[in-house]
Amino acid sequence: MPALPNPSQNQLSIRWPLPPQPGLTPPLRLGVLASGSGSNFEALVNACRGGVLEGAAVVQLIVNNPGCGAQQRADRLGVPWQLVDHRQRSRLLLDQELVSCLQDSAVDLVVMAGWMRIVTPVLIAAYAGRLVNIHPSLLPSFRGMDAVGQALAAGVRLSGCTVHLVAEEVDAGEILMQAAVPVLEDDDHSSLSARIQDQEHRLLPAAVALLGQRLGSLAQG
């Protein structure tokens, strides 16, 4: 039997070619919700400014944690941001405020990029078919919190990330795109998270472009 390739000698992520993403018609206005470091938010902004998301723009970032990494990235990147603090509102009032901010900015499509709040039907209905989330597992495996820890505990040999439409059931809406990475023998939380995030930064812009094209085709009838 031929020797199996040693994954540690290769590029660890599985980098298959993503489908081509022709220009978006009409241009897409993106709103991003983020609670943490904001690396996916930055990947989206960069993709709009010269990658697979040309024809789209991140017009607004909303954060719920004052001073979080995403907010600092928005300052550096020159993207308008707004704080909507969940500590001062019920889940329902939080989502009503989100919808109002997003509508004020005429956002077409909303991206939950590390938004650590469970959303209500208020937000889901206002952006039905236009609200996406990125989750660090190959759904439907490992829904909910600490998907990377769940994957390590389960001993799976393959993990990855999923971009999906948001439905009322957590991490259960229609899957738009997925990317897979190997889980290595000596992986810990931080090494596996980093490998998955590397793929997230490619996958999220591509999946948003795909949905943008779908919405554009629907709009044109």
Active site residues: 135
DSSP one-letter string for 23-63? PPSSPEEEEEEESS--HHHHHHHHHHTTSTTTTEEEEEEEE
Asked if 160 interacts with ligand GRF (CB under 6 A), we say no
DSSP structural state of residue 183: -
| Residue from the set 13, 37, 82, 141 that interacts with ligand GRF by CB under 6 A | 37
Q: Any contact of residue 40 with ligand GRF (CB under 6 A)?
A: yes
Contact 71, 85 (CB under 8 A): no
Site for ligand GRF in 86-145 (CB under 6 A): 113-114, 134-136
212 near ligand GRF (CB under 6 A): no
Tell me the one-letter amino acid at 186.
Answer: D
Query: Which of 35-43, 54-62, 81-89, 93-101 is the region at the interface with ligand GRF (rule: CB under 6 A)?
Result: 35-43
- Cβ partners under 8 Å of residue 167, min gap 6: 124, 173, 174
Give the one residue of 31, 32, 38, 45 binding ligand GRF; rule: CB under 6 A.
Answer: 38
Applying CB under 6 A, the residues found at the interface with ligand GRF are 34, 36-41, 113-114, 134-136, 161, 197, 200
